[in-house]
Amino acid sequence: MTTAPRHDPPTPPPHTLAVLGAGVMGVGITALALGHGLPVHLVDVDHERLERARSLIAGELRLAQLMGALPPGVPEGELSTGTVLDPAARATAVVEAVTESAETKTKVLAEVSALARPGTLLVTNTSSIPVDELAGAVQRPEELIGTHFMNPPYLIRTAEVIRGARTGEAALQAAVGLLAALRREAVVVRDAPGFVTSRILHPMINDAARVVQQGTATAEAVDALMQGCLGHPTGPLRTADLIGIDNLVDSLQVLYERTGDEGCRPCDLLVRLVAEGRHGRKTGSGFYDYR
């Protein structure tokens, strides 16, 4: 008598994510999670942006696969999309990645915290806004924590984790565990405007743009010198194009308003590029032309 081979049920993924916002970072975080086998429900109020996001995510996953940035043998997670927050009630973790505006983030976090089950990890992906400033909007402030994923998330293996004054130990451990499931190293810092990376990097990019504005050097020359002499991997102005110059200006404005540091006031050149719709790679031009 032969026995049929035993097939154990597949191990369920450790997390089911809801990602709020289908912009550059929402798309990147979604691609990272899907590539590591986690199911994601991506939410945005704009139907067209959601449709574009599907093709962008597929492209990022292909690139990540080609670059060996995804774990081998892991089936891709399932992607669903929608314009309402209700699926956040079924998620084990919610990642808010809407525009870098305290008012917008506060509104979204308040809505989602009313839906999420107690114990659900709430993550705000912010580059500059203090986490405790947002925590007052949620029903359980101890469940809110900040992360700052770098762009593109599927290539940069380290993520800044910001523990707010009211963030609980359980949320901190859950965030570190989520990043471990994504094969990311969590570096935990205290809450402050801009935290560490943006507080250092964004004023430096602002200074680099000011050098170009004053006619001292071209963008190409600034980046070449920063790469060749100081070891910056891409140059600050190519980095600005990758971040999104509109996002950079928003972040600098947050820093300027909360610190009073004149070095954080967005320079005229950055403001002009935003007004002209030259936001960097995502629009096809910024300091460089990508079309």
CA dist., res. 286 & res. 290, Å (int): 8
CB 21, CB 43: distance < 8 Å: yes
Residue 15 has what pLDDT? 86
Contacts of 180 (CB under 8 A, 6+ apart): 186
Q: Check residue 7 and give its pLDDT.
A: 47
Which has more pLDDT, 62 or 15? 62
Q: Which pLDDT score is estimated for 9?
A: 46
pLDDT digits (tens, 9 = 90+) for 54-94: 999 999 999 999 999 999 999 999 999 999 999 999 999 99
Domains of the chain listed by start with CATH number: 17-190 (3.40.50.720), 198-282 (1.10.1040.10)
| Dist. CA 86–CA 178, nearest whole Å | 21
Report the alpha-carbon distance of residue 180 to residue 184 in Å, rounded. Answer: 5
Mean pLDDT of the chain: 94
Task: Please count the residues of the chain.
Answer: 291
* E strand map for 85-229: 93-96, 121-125, 144-148, 158-163, 185-190
- CA distances from residue 256 to 62, 261, 265, 276 in whole angstroms, order as listed: 38, 6, 5, 22
pLDDT for 115 beyond 60: yes
pLDDT at 163: 98
Span 175-187, average pLDDT: 97
User: DSSP code of 21?
Assistant: -
**Residues whose CB is less than 8 angstroms from the CB of residue 215 and which lie 6 or more positions away in sequence, other chains included:** none
User: Is the whole-model pTM more than 0.85?
Assistant: yes
**What is the mean pLDDT of the segment spanning 215-244?**
96
Q: Examine the pLDDT at 160 and tell me if it is beyond 60.
A: yes
Confidence of residue 197 (pLDDT cuts 50, 70, 90): very high
